[in-house]
Amino acid sequence: MFDDLASSAVRSALTGLAARQRVSANNIANIQTPGFTASRVEFESALRSAVESGDSSPRVSPTVTASPLAARQDGNNVNLDEETMSSMDTGLRYQLMLRALDDKFGLVSTVLKGIR
C-alpha cells in the first residue's frame, strides 16, 4: 500500500525482527540438545546501508549465522540469559516498529477523512 522509504524500512525491520524471534525461540527450544549451535539474525546493518544509500524501497533479507559463543562440554552453546535478553529486546523493537506503522496509517487516515 505504501511504497515510501519509511514504510519500506519499517516493513523490512519487522521482517528481520520476526526472524530473530523465531531463531531465538528455536535456540531456547534446543538448549538441552547436545551439539546444538545457536544462531543469530542480522539485518540492521544492511537496512541502515540501504537507507543511507538512498534506496527508495529498502528490502533487506535477514542473515542467519552461527553464534560465536563458546560451547559447553556437551557441544551446545545456547546461553539462556543472552537469549532471554535478546527476545525481550526484539519484542520491544517489534512493538516500536508496529507503532510507527500504525502512526503512519493513522496519519493517512486523518488526511483521507479531511479530503471527504
The one-character DSSP state at 71 is P
Largest CA distance in the chain: 68
Question: What integer pLDDT is reported at residue 54 of this predicted model?
Answer: 82
35: left (phi over 0), alpha (psi -120 to 50) or beta: left
**Residue 68 pLDDT more than 60?**
yes
Tell me the residue type at 77: N
* pLDDT band of 8, cuts 50, 70, 90: confident
Kindly list the domain boundaries of the chain, sorted by start residue: 5-115
Ranges of beta strands (E only) in the chain are 39-42, 63-66
- The predicted-structure confidence for 12-65, as pLDDT tens digits, reads as follows 999 999 999 999 999 999 999 999 999 999 999 999 999 999 877 788 999 999
Q: Return the C-alpha torsion angle 48, 43, 96, 84, nearest 10.
A: -140
pTM beyond 0.75: yes
